[in-house]
Amino acid sequence: MSESTSTSGIQSVLQEDRVFAPSAAVSAAAHVHSLDAYKALHARSIADPDGFWGEIAKELHWYSPWSKVLEWDQPDAKWFVGGKTNLCYNCVDRQVDAGHGDEPAIIWEGEPVGGGGAEVRTLSYADMQRGISRFANGMKSLGVKKGDIVTVYMGMVPELAMAVLACARIGAAHSVIFGGFSAQAIADRVVDASSQTIITCDGSWRRGNIVPLKENVDEACKMLGEKAPANVIVVKRCENEIGWTAGRDYWWGELCEGQSEECACEPMDSEDLLFVLYTSGTTGKPKGIMHTTGGYMVYTYLTSKMTFDLRPDEGHVYWCTADVGWVTGHSYIIYGIMPNRVPTVMFEGAPNHPGPDRFWDVVARHKVTHFYTAPTAIRAFMKWGDEHPQKHDLSSLQVLGTVGEPINPEAWMWYHRMIGGERCPIVDTWWQTETGGHMITPLPGAVPTKPGSCTVPFFGVDAAIVTEQGEELGADEGGLLAIRKPWPAMLRGILGDRDRFVATYWDDIKKPDGTRFYKAGDGARRDKDGYFWIMGRVDDVINVSGHRLGTMEVESALVSHETVVEAAVVGMPHEIKGTGIAAFCTLASGVTADDALRKTLRAHVGNEIGAIAKPDLIRFTDVLPKTRSGKIMRRLLRDIASGKEGSGDTTTLEDKGVLEQLRKNDKG
């Protein structure tokens, strides 16, 4: 560790000097063989985006060509203007048409392990084509059509992949809601998207228990009343007992019965909506991030190919452990991977069920070559002990990836040694729901890695560390991470909220001449070698186990409980989650502040949002630290939650006695 560096109030204390270069063998086989080759390609992609992306896009299928690669009228980008394509076609039919119909597209493994081992289903591209087509026809029979938004609330079953691909096939957009979210969360999102159809499962397996998905959907529909969707399609998975509303509910199996195995792909305009995915922001309401067809397709295809160095016909088996409920699952289980014709593993369960070696068992049995997971999982594996990975043969692994939050160098080194056997490059991929695909990442054969750094920008990405005036900062100076040029998979907006789109991403970093940069919301620095080091969010968003939560969302959930008058939520360091949630609550008079209430409030937040939002620490207080103008001073709360004495400036604090009280009250 060296001394810290600081600019614009953003501090960086991490200094890591180890460098790991790819082996000669890895580099020789890779798409990009060296750092110089990467640099030349990157320079070209920035200088001539039209030429660069136009060539890549031609590797995929289009019904009719684009007239222009990029139209940029900040902050609005159009990519492959006027081009017509279909993403389902490029994931599935293109492989079948080229004679690869019998090859495995999806290798699915269920969670329960019975006497005969876990259930495994391997679906070929031809199986996918048939299954998707029948389901697409089934949806059409219910009146689902191009331009609709279909809500998907499912467990990790192959039908989930079929569902989203069937939407893409007929030109309906999807809105996938993570299966861990609550009925309230479903209701909010269904209304926002005016969704008329929900696809769900009876239940989903999670550590041997059944998550009652259909029950949650029923509850959401009840909350929605007249605004409830007209159709609920249910995949039978756990065979748990469920309620049934005739005329609204349909079994997936029955809906598909008798449907034709042929369903033509709808030629979609490059800028037609592909999906909406809700993510947290700094205000209470989640925002529906919009991604369109052509640019997203080309970008996720190329990032998958380059970041993981995927090549067909070389025995690659790719596994991303994310849930399709998050953007990682959209881009790097389905949409980017399938066009590369490498089988993608889909796993239903948890990493520690039935035992803490489950992931390594899956890797060994399926001979996984590419493994992509999150730092929070890696830290959990470290804690569970080396004996679990050591029990299994992990020699099939070639490339390891991480995503979701900064990875601490200790976890990086453990991953490198224990899982990668010191031979697998690690790609630490920085990106966001809004960016659609990897933005800053090493390429396995080309870019030497440094533990804790996501390294260098991907092709076409003009990333910089800047001030709010758009001035670029020097080496190792902390600042705002910004993107200066449009990239193909960038978000096209927030559903129904143009002002919020502009205000959140494009208003804060502006050059004096009016040029706007995309504001990622992360603080970062760039070292003297041009490597990026992400320091974390600079707004009121916290990253819990790699999943984004707005502190305001958790606060609104807390104050919606009758006992809580006011709440302030901040992040705090957490051994496994990276960042945990600390909540400071002021209670209504007469309410007893005790552990029973803590339990009630945690459960309440679980009901309002979902289990991931439950606070790790709840402190009760008579007052919150505020400025004279009434703004809660979160910085001080962060110090208290992380056990720091808090040497920062408190001159604007209205009532200094508050801090003493908060520190004393340290019952978690």
Q: Residue numbers of the site for ligand WT7 (CB under 6 A)?
A: 279, 327-328, 403-406, 428-433, 454, 520-522, 534, 537, 543, 546-548
Nearest to 113 by CA among 348, 321, 323: 348
Kindly tell me which of 406 and 451 has the beta carbon lying closer to ligand WT7.
Answer: 406
Amino acid letter, residue 380: A
Smallest distance, Å, CB 326 to ligand WT7? 6
CB of 618 to ligand WT7, least distance (A): 24
The sign one gets for the Cα dihedral 544, 548, 551, 552 is negative
Query: What is the separation of C-alpha 131 from the centre of its chain, rounded to a whole number of angstroms?
Result: 26
Smallest gap, in angstroms, from Cβ of residue 521 to ligand WT7?
6
d(CA 21, CA 34): 10
Helix H or strand E segment including 360: helix 358-366
Which of 328/621 has CB closer to ligand WT7?
A: 328
Query: Min. distance of Cβ 482 from ligand WT7 in angstroms?
Result: 12
Q: Which is nearer to ligand WT7, 118 or 542 (CB)?
A: 542
Output the smallest distance, CB 45 to ligand WT7, in A. 21
The smaller minimum CB distance to ligand WT7, of residues 379 and 604, is found at 379
* 205 exposure class (CB count in 10 Å sphere: 0-12, 13-18, 19+): buried
Strand partners of residue 84:
64, 269
Closer Cβ to ligand WT7, 7 or 408, answer by number: 408
**Closer of 379 and 537 to ligand WT7 (Cβ):** 537
Smallest distance, ligand WT7 to C-beta of residue 428, A: 5
Q: Quote the least distance from Cβ 547 to ligand WT7, whole Å.
A: 6
Least gap, CB of 121 to ligand WT7 (angstroms): 26
For ligand WT7, the closer of residues 548 and 634 by Cβ is 548
Beta-carbon contacts of residue 630 (< 8 Å; ≥ 6 apart): none
419/435 Cα distance (integer angstroms): 29
3-class SS shares of the chain: helix, strand, coil, % to 5? 30, 25, 40
DSSP line for 232-299: EEEE-SS-------TTTEEEHHHHHTT--S--PPPPEETTSEEEEEEE--SSSS-EEEEEESHHHHHH
How far is residue 94's CA from residue 330's CA, in Å, rounded to a whole number? Answer: 19
Half-sphere exposure of residue 494: CA atoms within 13 angstroms, side-chain side: 19
Shortest spacing between CB 373 and ligand WT7, in angstroms: 11
Burial class (CB in 10 A: 0-12, 13-18, 19+), 628: exposed
Kindly tell me which of 57 and 491 has the beta carbon lying closer to ligand WT7. Answer: 491
Please enumerate in sequence order all residues whose Cβ is within 8 A of that of 586, keeping only pairs 6 or more positions apart, or say none: 564, 565, 566, 567, 620, 621, 622, 623, 624
Nearer CB in complex with ligand WT7: 151/279: 279
The closest alpha carbon to 338, from 312, 364, 372, belongs to: 312
CB nearer to ligand WT7: give 303 or 563: 303
- DSSP labels, 618-658: EEE-SS--BBTTS-B-HHHHHHHHTT----S--TTBS-THH
Nearest to 270 by CA among 82, 493, 90: 82
Residue 277 Cβ vs ligand WT7, minimum distance, rounded to whole Å: 9
- Pairing label, strands 547-550, 564-574: unpaired
- Closer CB to ligand WT7, residue 293 or residue 433? 433
